[in-house]
Amino acid sequence: MTALTPKPAVASQGMLYRLTRNKVGVAGFVIVGFIVFIAVFGPMFVGKISQDAQNTWAGPSAEHWLGTDYAGKDVFDQLLSGGGTVVYVGFLAAAISTTIAVVLGALAAYLRGRVDRILLQATDIVMTVPQIVLLAVLGAFFQLSSPTVVAILIGTLSWPILMRSIRAQVLTLKEREFVEAAKLLDLGTARIVFSEIVPNMAGFVLINFIIAVTDAVYALVGLYVLGLAPLSGANWGIMINKAWVFDAFSLTEGVMFMMGPVALIALLQLGLIMLTRSLEEVFNPRLSEG
């Protein structure tokens, strides 16, 4: 009889095994999934936010689980209804900034010469402009009431650092044998860059996309906290702004109104960072062999 040779765990279990074997990453996935579920479906459960003008700054009760705010609005209802904009802007802005960074960084490194110099100069210019100051100026001229517009603004101002990292990655990858082979086959610049080089950076790009989501969420919330975006509707950033304006932190009954949105935003950020642990397991072969 011949002894059975055990198959490698990674080969037999595949990507799902690598994605779920890091418990911290799995916990991050659960957390992010929970927050996204609240953001997407929360408004459906709440409907119209309940309000009792005669019962302002009320503590938690059977009727109002987390109490009420300065206007008698239910805090729990606001938390369920206020995550959609934050999640939407965070992911859309990250998608925009990551796409710009990948396209410009890859082309700059591959084409070099004048194209590289022009794109690096553009990067330097964008990096020297304080993002929050420019957003404040733009907010004075344009109504930032549209989440899509806000996401576009944040995304188009957040790409330079990642662009330089992508450029450095491509400068290394363009010297590999498979790129030289593609050049010999005359596949064309677009196909070589985006079909041969960029897919080899998938893990790096995806992890940086997750980090870009966290940065975009902080930028959006900062706009609302500083009052640079319209303070209307249900939004976690608006809740923090109102809590500050109405001095909620000095009231025992206002603690949940102040800390509720802060806790959910922090939980979302923590989940995203934890999620990168599992992504590293999937895209880093050395970790997969452990």
8 A C-beta contact, residue 154 and residue 219? yes
Dist CA 164 CA 92 (whole Å): 21
**pLDDT the model gives residue 233:** 73
Task: pLDDT band for 278, please (50, 70, 90 cuts).
Answer: confident
How far is residue 83 from each of residues 148, 220, 257, measured CA to CA in Å? 15, 12, 14
Q: Does domain 37-46+81-285 have CATH number 1.10.3720?
A: yes
pLDDT at 242 over 50: yes
Dist CA 249 CA 256 (whole Å): 9
pLDDT at 42 over 70: yes
How far is residue 26 from each of residues 31, 32, 228, measured CA to CA in Å? 9, 10, 36
**pLDDT the model gives residue 277:** 84
Dist CA 23 CA 245 (whole Å): 40
First to last CA, the chain: 31
The mean pLDDT value for 214-239 works out to: 86
The mean pLDDT value for 103-114 works out to: 94
pLDDT 10s digits, 138-154? 777 777 778 898 999 99
pTM of the predicted model as reported, rounded to 2 decimal places: 0.88
As a whole-number percent, the residues of the chain with pLDDT over 70 amount to 91
- Given the structure tokens 């802007």, which residue do they identify? 89
**pLDDT the model gives residue 6:** 42
